[in-house]
Amino acid sequence: MAIQKNVKIKNRKAKFEYEIIDTYTAGIVLRGTEIKAIREGKASIAESFCEFSNGELFAINMTVQEYSHATHYNHAPKSERKLLLNRSELKKLEKEVKNSGLTIIPLVLFTNNKGLAKIDIALCRGKKEYDKREAIKDRDSKKQLSRIKKAFNN
């Protein structure tokens, strides 16, 4: 697979499963061949979440597949990866998570113009079952409306 210039790996379930309160962009501390695997698009943030440990934020369950052209110095696919944020942002997030019971979920893993890997994270509250049903109804009604508009314009 060819190396891509702009990589954008999304967590598609996040907006359905969680109510997004606030978003942040963080850098990621990567080891060895992880950036090459990300540039090939061989990463997943679907089941991942973020957790605090000793005042630092880590992405847990983020999968970066092993780089195909690496030797025995390859990385572990599901290791914890440290996220880089300002100290004030970290303190604010940690306070929100401890006091309010909110969670931090990765939304998008991407590379910026300089080729550095970044991750958009969101402070989220889990949706209840009836909220999810409401989202499905809204989505279906929007689809129906767009079909009607398309048929009317033709």
Contact 26, 108 (CB under 8 A): no
Given a cut of 60, whether residue 1 has pLDDT beyond it is no
Please name each of the domains of the chain with its CATH number: 8-126 (2.40.280.10)
- For residue range 3-36, what is the model confidence (pLDDT) as tens digits? 666 788 888 888 888 888 999 999 999 887 888 8
Residue 25: what pLDDT? 93
End-to-end CA distance of the chain: 41
Residue appearing with tokens 């992405």: 59
In 3-state terms, what secondary structure has residue 52?
strand
- Take residue 96 and report the two structure tokens written for it: 């929100």
Residues in a beta bridge with 9: 109
CA distance 128 to 148: 31
- Take residue 42 and report the two structure tokens written for it: 């061989």
Residue 105: what pLDDT? 92
Least confident range of 54-63, 79-88, 145-154: 145-154
